[in-house]
Amino acid sequence: MTGRKSMRVTVWNENVHETTETEVAERYPDGIHGAVASAITDHHPEAVVRTATLADPEHGLTEEVLADTDVLTWWGHKAHEEVDDAVVERVQRHVLSGMGLVVLHSGHLSKVFRALLGTTCNLDWRCERDRELVWTVDPAHPIAQGVPHPVVIDQQEMYGEFFDIPAPDELVFISSFSGGEVFRSGCTFRRGHGRIFYFSPGDQAFPVYHHADVRKVIANGVQWAVPTRERDLPALHNRPAGWFA
């Protein structure tokens, strides 16, 4: 944003696995939101990062919080249906008004992502310790800067095609898995005045959000999604002839 020194990021996490499964809690002692937040602050020390979770009132995503957020990141898995529809509509409205959105991994089935894309966002999956390789297919894209080609993730859940999304505006990364599957793992979408980045690596069952390259991509994606203009929702205008003269 013009003249703003630091970006304001809200890291949203369902936070159900961490609070109900010991293994996940040990893997992510600060929650997945804590790991994601630290990825952002490690790369953007000037960023103002807050976190919010499902259990918070209004899931921590009040009008005030969203109005004060340049980029929202989203992680959910088990409890997509527990997210209140009013909050989903609010997030969608803020994205269309210009707020950036970074959707992570199983967030592909979140209400927010599906409402913004309009498709089922279904895919193939397998949770069996595949190795994932993340290849850059748009090497000059800002989100790919400083990222190895390929990123090697030793153990990961497999996400495979067909991934039912609209053709992305930009395809940045394609992953392969040791089982042979491929996945469009880094995709951008412009919706309304907002920018959306979907990035699939990351799972509660593996320490992917501690992986240096994954953290770099998330930090790049957040920076890329920062709004370029004042927030406003595209509106219906009745224009008299010659209105622009």
Contact 109, 146 (CB under 8 A): no
By the rule CB under 8 A, 135 interacts with a second copy:
yes
- Choose the stretch contacting a second copy; rule: CB under 8 A; options: 15-23, 47-55, 80-88, 183-191: 183-191
Size of the site for a second copy (CB under 8 A): 75
Indicate the Cα dihedral angle 163, 164, 166, 172, nearest 10°.
-10
**Per-residue interface string for the shown chain with a second copy, residues 97-116, x marking contact by CB under 8 A:** -x----------x-----xx
Which helix or strand (DSSP H or E) is residue 75 part of?
Answer: strand 71-75
Query: Smallest distance from the beta carbon of 23 to a second copy, in angstroms?
Result: 20
71 close to 225: Cβ distance less than 8 angstroms: yes
SS3 193: coil
Choose the binding region for a second copy from 13-21, 53-61, 162-170, 197-205 (rule: CB under 8 A): 162-170
Is 83:76 a contact under the CB 8 Å cutoff?
yes
For residue 89, state whether it binds a second copy (rule: CB under 8 A): no
Among 48, 79, 96, 205, binds a second copy (CB under 8 A): 96
Q: Output 84 or 164, the one with its CB closest to a second copy.
A: 164
Decide if 1 contacts 193 (C-beta within 8 A): no
CB of 52 to a second copy, least distance (A): 22
What lies within 8 Å, CB to CB, of 167 at 6+ separation is none
Q: Which of residues 46-75 bind a second copy (CB under 8 A)?
A: none
